[in-house]
Structure 1
C-alpha cells in the first residue's frame, strides 16, 4: 500500500524507528514495574528523536530554501514514527493486554493536513482514536497515557476519540469533521477498525453528497477570502488562508477527492480535472508556498502564517533573492510569491471549469448561468452562456482575437469559458509588435478600458490570462510587483485595476456619498478617455529606479498614440501622470489658508479641465491604495484645495471665492450658536481669516462653544471622540507663548496618544486655539474615559511646567510598531518661497511614537514659532510640515540658522532610527 512518504529520501536520517524501538525495549526491561519512571524515560527518548528529526528537516529546507514539500513530508513522517513507537510502548509496556475482547481494539488515524502527509514546523498534530464500539477502560487508559506523553513532548495535539458510529454521525452533521476525515490516513493500531471506518465513510457519508459538499466548500472558500481581504495581491498575505494560498490548493484536492475518490493530487490528471502541465504548476506552487510557510514558522518560533513586512525581509534573505535593477531583494521575493498565488488562482478557475463540464455532460451543471443570447459574437461561440472558441487554433489564425474576446465579453456582459481563458493564456505569446500596432487590437483594448459597464472585472480577466501584460509590456513589468511599504495594500497591477474600477463606479454614480465632488465633475469632463488612460498609467513606471511620475509621463507620450489618442489627449495623459501626486501633496502637506499655496498649485495646473481631471485621478488613486486609507478628512482637504484653485482659475467667472466661503462659514456658525449680533461679532473678530479657511464647520462650532464656555479662563482643555476621522479630537485654548505647541505634543505622547494631525491657530487677542487628532500608537482608538482624563491631565501638567517633558518621555518605553521593519532616511526640506509670510519646513522620517514631539522640541530649541503644523502619514513614513517664523514674526533667512535648524530636525527625526540603507526619493507615495 502506497504512503505519502514513499518518495521521501533518506528516511532513517530523520528517524530510525527500529533503533529507537530497541532502545525503549531495553529501558522497559530495566524499569519493569515502575510505570511512572518508564513513561518518563520513553518520553525522554522520544524527545531527543523528535528534536534530531526536526533539525534534519530544517537542514533539508536550508539546502533548498524555496522547496518546502520535503520538509513538510519529513515532519509528518517523523510524527508518524513517534506515534507508532509511542503506541507500541504504551500498549506493550505500560498497559499490556494479553487477550483483548472485540471492544478492546483501537486504531490511530491522522486527519486534516497531517492526514495528507504534510506538517509545518509548528502545525497541530491532528489525530483520531477510533474504537469499534464505546471505549473500554483499557482503551481510555491507552488514549489518556498517549496524550499526556505527546503533551510532555511539547506537541500541540488536536485529537478526538470516537466509536465508528459516532464518527459517522459527526461526519454527516459537521462539514469540518467531514473534511478532516476525507483526508484520514491509517497510522497504527488495529487496521481492521480503520478499514471499517473508511468503508462506512465512503458509503454512508460521501455517497450522493458530492454537489452539496462542493457548494459548501466553495462558500467556505469565498467567506475565507472575504475575511482575508478578497485579493491574492495584498502586500502582507496569509500564506495558508489567504486568496491564492495553500488552503485554496487544498480545497481543490478535497473537491477532487470527494467527487472522484482520488487518493493523491496526481490522480486528478486521470480524473480529467487537471492536465499534466497543470499538475506540474500545482506541485510547483504548492512546493514554494510550503517553503514560505515553513520559513515563517521557523523564524517566528510558533505557528505564524501571515507574511508580514519584517518576516518578508528575513525570508527573502533565507531564500537567496538578491536586489536587481530598481528592485530590492524583498520586492523580487514577493513578486515571485504573487506569481505563485496567481498560478493558484488560475488553477482554481480551470479546475472548477473541468468539474462543471464533467457534470454538464451528465445532464446537470453545478455552476448556474443566466444570460441573454447576443446576436453577434465576432466569430466566437456560446457554450452554455459563456464565450468559447470555435476551434483550438482560433487565436493562432488571428492573434488580434486575443483582445477582441475580452471586448466581446464586456460588450455583452458575458463570462469567458475557462477553456478559452486557458487557451488565451497559452497563446498570449502570439501578441507581438505587429499585434500591438494593429488598430483593431488597440480599439478593442480601449473599449474595455473605457467601458461604462465593468472594466475592472474584464481587465482582471485580461491580466490573469497574461494578455494585458503582453499587449502593454510596460504594464507586464509591474504585474505582481509589490511595493515594500505599509501604505500600499496591493501590488501595482492590482492597485491600478482597482483604480480603474473605482473610476467607472464614480462615473456610474455608485459613490456619490463618498465622493460627491468627483461624481459631480465626471459629467463635466471633456477628456474622459484621457482620464481612464491616465489612471491606467499613473504607476506604470514603478520599480525602475527613478521618479516613477517623470518616467511614466515619458512612457505615456510613446504609448498613447498607439492606443489611438489624439495629440491633445496624449499631452493631457502625460501631464496627469507627471503630476498625479501634486494635489495630494499640496492638500495634505501644505497650509491651504496660505494664499501662496494656492497660487503655486495653479501655476502648475493652469486650466479648469486639468484641475477636474487631477482631482478625480487623486481620489481614485488614494481610494485604491487599500481599505481605511480614504476618509472624510482627506475628502474635505481635497475639496478645499479644489474650490480655492477653481476660484483663481475661473477669474471673473468664479462661483464662490475665498471671501464668500469665509462669509458662508461665519453665517453658518452664527445660525448654529444663536448669539446676539454684538457677541458674535466680538467672537468673529478674534479669529484671523486663515482660521476660517482652514477648519471645517463642525470644528468651528466645537471651538466656538469651547471658547465661550472657557470665558476668562487662561486655560481650557477638551477631549472627545471624533468618529469622522476615527480619532480623538483634543482642543487646547490657552494664552499663546513660545513652546506651547511642543509642550502639548509631548503631553499627548506622554499620555499614550499619537498625534495624526495638528492645526495651530494664534488668535488676534494673544490666545491660541489648537486642535489635535489623536489615536493610539498602533492606529487604534484612544477614547476611553480613562484615556481622555489622562490626556487632559498630562496637558495641564505640561503647560504648568510641573515636570520635565524630555526626561519623562525618555524614561517611558516606546511601543514597538510595524514601521520598525523599514529603514527610512530622515530628510529635511526648507522652503522660503512656498509662503509669503512663513518659512515652510517639511520633515520626512520613519513614523514612530513621539516623533512630532521630538520635532516640535527641536523647533522650540531653535527659538522658532510654529504657526501651522500638518501631519501626514503614508504607512511607515511620516511627513510633517511646519509653517514657521522667528520670535519677531519674520521668515528664517540666515544661512547659518537654517543649517542649524536642519541639523536639529535631522537629529530629532532619527533619534531612534538605525543607520539608513538608501536615500528616499518619494515624499508623497500614492
Structure 2
C-alpha cells in the first residue's frame, strides 16, 4: 500500500514538505487506482449541496470497500484514510480559495493533520493570518460553508503575532505539532510547529503528556481489558500511539525518519503499524455504525462489528454459540493489540526519558548505580514528580542472549531486592530474547528451579508476573498460559481476559498478606498462616489455564498443574494438593451459593469431600480470591457470608467430628441457644414451648439461631393478628448482606400460591430476592406459612427511598403484601420483560433440570435448577408459572452471575409430595416457553 505520510511514529519516510508539494488530484487518483476504488466525480466545489453529497458518497464507497475486505481490511485502511484526507483537503482548499485571501494559511491539525481521518472524526483546522479583523466577514463565510457541506469543524483562528500566547496550552501545542498546510501562504508552512518548539522544552512537554496519560488510564480503570473498551483513550488505545508520535516529532523534528529509527526498532515499528491499522478499522466501523464520532466499543456495536469484519455471517444457521465464538475471537484480537500497544508505549516512553531528555534527573546515565553481579545493577533516578525510582538494569546488551537463564534470574533478583521496575533498554532486550525460551530451555533443571523460585518469592510477585507476561517470558515458558492471553468470555460475569484475571487473582492473594482494612477478613487470617503459599500461587496460575480448549477446563488444567509440579521437583503430596485445588476450584463457591448450607447433610458431605482442615483452608482462600478476581462488583457480603458459613461449619466437623452435624444434635443446640436468648428477653418458657410445638424439624434445620429468636419474638408479639386472619409482616436490616440487605418475615394462614404472590409484590416494589425459606407450621392448631426472604432494595442507594429508612415505602410494602395475600388476583407479573442494556445484548437459552432433593430439610421434594438470562421481573414470572401449575415452593436460592441467573428451587405438589413426571415436563416446557419467547 502507499504509506500514510504523516502516520504515527514516522511510519513512512515522506516528509511533510514533500507531501505538501504533491498534486492532490494526482495523489488521490493514484490511491484509487491502486485499490480499484471508484469514487464519485468531484462536483463544482462551490456548490455546498453537491459537496455534501460527494463527501457522503466517498464515505459510502470507502465503507463498502472495507466491508468487502473483512479482516483483510487492515492491509488497506491506511490508504483509504489517505483517500478520505485528500478528499477533505481538496474541498477545503477550494473553499479557502473562494472565501479567503492568499495572505492567510489554512492548516490541518490534530488527527486531521496526521492524516488520520475516520468517517466521523473531528476536522481540526487552524487559520493563521494577519489583520484578522479586516477579513472577519470572509472568515465567517468560510466557516458557514463548512457547516453547509456537513463538516462540523473544530476551528481556530490565530493572528500571526499572537501564536506564542495560544500555544501555552498543552492541548493546543500538541495539536499544532501535527499542523499540515492545506492551502494558503506557503511561507507560514512551519510556523505552528516552530512556535511549539520555541515555547516548550522537551522536558515540560514530556511531563505534560505523561501526566495526561496517567489521568487517562485512571479514568479507564487502568486496564486494557474493559468489556466495552474506549479504543482511543483507554490503555492500549490510539492515544498511546499518539504519545510516541508526539514525542518523536517534538524531539527529532518534522523530517525525522532516520532519527526515529534509533528510538523505535523495526520489529517494534511493525507491531505498532499492525495495531494502528486494526484500531483504525475498528474506529471506522464504529463511526459508521453509530453515525457519529463514537470510540467506545459498546455491546450495542460489537455484534455488528464482528459481522463487518467477517468473523461470522448472519444467517439462519448462525447459532448463539457461533456468534459468541466470533465475538470472542474479535475481542481477543483487540485485547492482543491493546496489550502490545500499552507495553510498547510504556516501554518506549520510559526509554525516551532515559535516553533523550536533557534533564539529568531523568537521564539514565545520571543515576546512582549499585552493582548486584556481573549481569545486573540497580539504578536510582528521579521521576517527573521528583520521586526517587530504583530500577534493575542489565549491564550488557547481550546479557540475555549469551545466558538465557538471566531471563528468569532478573525477575528473581527483583523479588529478592524488593524492586518492581526494569529500565526500558533492559525490557527491550528481554522482549527480543524471550524467543529463546523453547522446549530445550523449559526442560533444563536450572531454568525450572529459577521459575519455581520466582513463584516462591512473594515480593512484587504480581508486578513481576505482569512484566514477564508483557515481555514474552511467561507465555513462552508456559505455552498453555500464552494460549489464554487475551482470551475473553462474552458475558457480564467475567470482567477480564483469562490472563488478566489470573494475575489479578495472584495480586489478591498477595493482598491477603497485608490486609489492614479487614476487607477479606477470615480469608486473610487463614492465608497468613499457610506456610507454603507457592502451592496457592501455582494453583492460581493453572486454575483457568485450560479455558478455550473445549471440555472441562478444571479437569484439563488439573492435569497440566500436576505435571508442572512434578517436572519442577515438587513432592507427590504437594503436587496432588495443587491438582486437587485446580480441579475443585469452583466447588466451594457453587456449594455455598446453590445448596442449603444450614443443612447438616450438606456440611457432612463437604467435610468428606475436603478431607482435612489443610485442604479446606487452601480451597477457601483460593475461592475467595478467585471470586474477587472474576468480578469485584459481584462480590458482596452476602456471598462472603455464605462462603464463611460453609467454611466455619465444615471446619467444626474436621475439628470435632461428624457427630457435630448430627440432625438431632443440631436441632437441640439451636433450640437451646435460641431459648436462652428469648428468656433473657423476658419471654416465658411456656410461651416458647407452646409456639415451637407446632414447628417441625424442618424449621430448626433451616433457620439460624438469630433468625429463630427474631421470628419467635415477632410472632409472640403479634399473635392476635393471626387470630383475626391477618398476616404478620415484619422487616429488619439483614446484617450479613451489603447493599442495604433486608430480611422479610411473612407469617400468614397457609394458602396456595403464596410464593408467587409475594415475589410479585416484591418485584413491583423494586426488591430483589437473594434467598427464600418457605416453611409450613402450625400455630394454635391452625396451618400457617412461615416464610422468610433475604432482599436487596434496588432503589436503596438513595437514602430518601430506602425501604427501612423511608417510612412511606415501608408501609407501602406491608400494605401491598397484606392486600395481595387477601386478593391474589390483584398482583400479576408483567406480560413482557423490559430487558435493560447491556443485558439485551446477551442470549442465554433457558435450561431446567430436576433432581430429587437429598438434603435432610428437603427430603421428599424435587430440586429444580434454572439457568436463564437475568432480567427484571424474572422471579415474579417464575412464581406465576408455579402458581398456574399448582406447584408448592419450599425454598429458593437466587444466584446472579453477570447476565446469568442460576437459581435453585425446592418444589412439591400441593400435598408436599414429589411431583409426577408429567408435571415436571409441564413445568419445564412452560418455563422455557415464557422465558425464551
The TM-score range, normalised by the shorter chain, is 0.7 to 0.9
Residues in 2 aligned to 1:542 and 1:120: alpha-carbon distance in whole angstroms: 36
Q: 2:54 aligns to what?
A: 49
Distance 1:126 1:396, change over 3 A: closer
Q: 1:799 aligns to what?
A: 821
Residues in 1 aligned to 2:208 and 2:713: alpha-carbon distance in whole angstroms: 57
State how 1:708-857 maps to structure 2 within 5 Å.
Answer: 712-713=720-721, 714-715=726-727, 725-726=738-739, 729=742, 731=744, 733-735=746-748, 736-751=750-765, 753=766, 755=768, 757-762=770-775, 764=777, 765=779, 766-774=784-792, 783=802, 795=817, 798-801=820-823, 803=825, 805-806=827-828, 809-810=830-831, 814-836=834-856, 837=859, 838-857=861-880
State how 1:405-416 maps to structure 2 within 5 Å.
Answer: 405-414=410-419, 415-416=421-422
Residues in 1 aligned to 2:366 and 2:882: alpha-carbon distance in whole angstroms: 66
State how 1:484-563 maps to structure 2 within 5 Å.
Answer: 484-506=490-512, 508-510=513-515, 513-525=518-530, 527-563=532-568
Q: 1:34 aligns to what?
A: none
**Contact 1:66/1:292, CA 8 A, preserved across alignment:** no
Q: Deviations over 1:606-646 (max 9, x none)?
A: 22111111111101101111331221111111001111111
Q: Mean Cα displacement is larger for which, 870-879 or 74-83?
A: 74-83
> Mind listing any 5+ residue stretches in structure 2 that lack a counterpart?
1-16, 314-320, 381-389
Residues in 1 aligned to 2:79 and 2:892: alpha-carbon distance in whole angstroms: 56
Residues in 1 aligned to 2:734 and 2:96: alpha-carbon distance in whole angstroms: 61
**Contact 2:437/2:477, CA 8 A, preserved across alignment:** yes
Residues in 1 aligned to 2:367 and 2:705: alpha-carbon distance in whole angstroms: 50
Q: 1:94 aligns to what?
A: none
Distance 1:196 1:581, change over 3 A: closer
Residues in 1 aligned to 2:652 and 2:366: alpha-carbon distance in whole angstroms: 52
Determine helix, strand or coil for the equivalent of 1:452. coil
Residues in 1 aligned to 2:80 and 2:686: alpha-carbon distance in whole angstroms: 78
Residues in 2 aligned to 1:248 and 1:46: alpha-carbon distance in whole angstroms: 34
**Contact 1:662/1:689, CA 8 A, preserved across alignment:** no
State how 1:893-908 maps to structure 2 within 5 Å.
Answer: 894-908=916-930
Q: 1:331 aligns with which of 319, 322, 328?
A: 328
Residues in 2 aligned to 1:445 and 1:529: alpha-carbon distance in whole angstroms: 12
Q: Deviations over 1:76-112 (max 9, x none)?
A: 3333333223333445xxxxxxxx7xxx954333332
Distance 1:476 1:449, change over 3 A: same
Q: 2:216 aligns to what?
A: 224
Determine helix, strand or coil for the equivalent of 1:809. coil
Distance 1:514 1:383, change over 3 A: closer
**Contact 2:847/2:866, CA 8 A, preserved across alignment:** yes
Q: 2:74 aligns with which of 59, 66, 70?
A: 66
Q: 2:260 aligns with which of 251, 262, 269?
A: 269
Distance 1:798 1:193, change over 3 A: farther
How much has 1:353 moved relative to structure 2? Answer: 3.5
State how 1:319-468 maps to structure 2 within 5 Å.
Answer: 319-321=309-311, 328-359=325-356, 363-365=360-362, 373=370, 376-377=372-373, 379-382=375-378, 385-414=390-419, 415-468=421-474
**Contact 2:732/2:742, CA 8 A, preserved across alignment:** yes
Distance 1:371 1:740, change over 3 A: farther
Distance 1:701 1:356, change over 3 A: farther
Distance 1:901 1:16, change over 3 A: closer
**Contact 1:589/1:870, CA 8 A, preserved across alignment:** yes
Q: Deviations over 1:455-513 (max 9, x none)?
A: 1000011111211111111111111111221111111111111111211221x232651
Q: 1:75 aligns to what?
A: 84
**Contact 2:839/2:871, CA 8 A, preserved across alignment:** yes
Q: 2:889 aligns to what?
A: 866
**Contact 1:111/1:128, CA 8 A, preserved across alignment:** yes
Determine helix, strand or coil for the equivalent of 2:632. coil
Residues in 1 aligned to 2:203 and 2:655: alpha-carbon distance in whole angstroms: 64
Residues in 1 aligned to 2:927 and 2:572: alpha-carbon distance in whole angstroms: 46
Residues in 2 aligned to 1:661 and 1:147: alpha-carbon distance in whole angstroms: 84
Q: Mean Cα displacement is larger for which, 697-706 or 335-344?
A: 697-706
Determine helix, strand or coil for the equivalent of 2:791. strand
Q: 2:205 aligns to what?
A: 213
Q: Deviations over 1:11-60 (max 9, x none)?
A: 57889899534x63xxxxxxxxxxxxxxxxx3211111111111122133
Q: Deviations over 1:274-323 (max 9, x none)?
A: 12222222111111111111112222333222223453333233223369
Residues 1:249 and 2:269 are matched in the alignment:
no
Q: 2:93 aligns to what?
A: 84
Residues in 2 aligned to 1:599 and 1:655: alpha-carbon distance in whole angstroms: 9
How much has 1:903 moved relative to structure 2? Answer: 2.6
**Contact 1:828/1:902, CA 8 A, preserved across alignment:** yes
Q: 1:565 aligns with which of 557, 566, 570?
A: 570
Q: 2:649 aligns to what?
A: 644
Determine helix, strand or coil for the equivalent of 1:557. helix
Q: 1:151 aligns to what?
A: 147
Q: 1:97 aligns to what?
A: none
Residues in 2 aligned to 1:162 and 1:69: alpha-carbon distance in whole angstroms: 31
**C-alpha RMSD of the superposition:** 3.9
How much has 1:433 moved relative to structure 2? Answer: 2.3
**Contact 2:264/2:348, CA 8 A, preserved across alignment:** yes
Determine helix, strand or coil for the equivalent of 1:65. helix
Residues in 2 aligned to 1:725 and 1:655: alpha-carbon distance in whole angstroms: 30
Distance 1:780 1:831, change over 3 A: farther
Q: 1:302 aligns to what?
A: 292
Distance 1:650 1:457, change over 3 A: same
Distance 1:261 1:834, change over 3 A: farther
Q: Deviations over 1:186-228 (max 9, x none)?
A: 333444566545443432x22xx22122112111111111111
Q: Give the total of aligned pairs.
A: 867
How much has 1:732 moved relative to structure 2? Answer: 5.5
Distance 1:200 1:501, change over 3 A: closer
Determine helix, strand or coil for the equivalent of 1:126. strand
**Contact 1:327/1:545, CA 8 A, preserved across alignment:** no
Q: Mean Cα displacement is larger for which, 581-590 or 762-771?
A: 762-771
Determine helix, strand or coil for the equivalent of 1:815. coil
Residues in 2 aligned to 1:337 and 1:788: alpha-carbon distance in whole angstroms: 48
Q: 1:95 aligns to what?
A: none
Distance 1:43 1:788, change over 3 A: farther
TM-score normalized by structure 2?
A: 0.84
Q: Deviations over 1:769-828 (max 9, x none)?
A: 43253465999998496987876666555434375655x611x66133323323323212
Distance 1:453 1:704, change over 3 A: farther
Residues in 2 aligned to 1:65 and 1:665: alpha-carbon distance in whole angstroms: 72
Residues in 2 aligned to 1:84 and 1:679: alpha-carbon distance in whole angstroms: 98
Distance 1:791 1:709, change over 3 A: same
Determine helix, strand or coil for the equivalent of 2:877. helix
How much has 1:407 moved relative to structure 2? Answer: 1.0
Q: 1:171 aligns to what?
A: 167
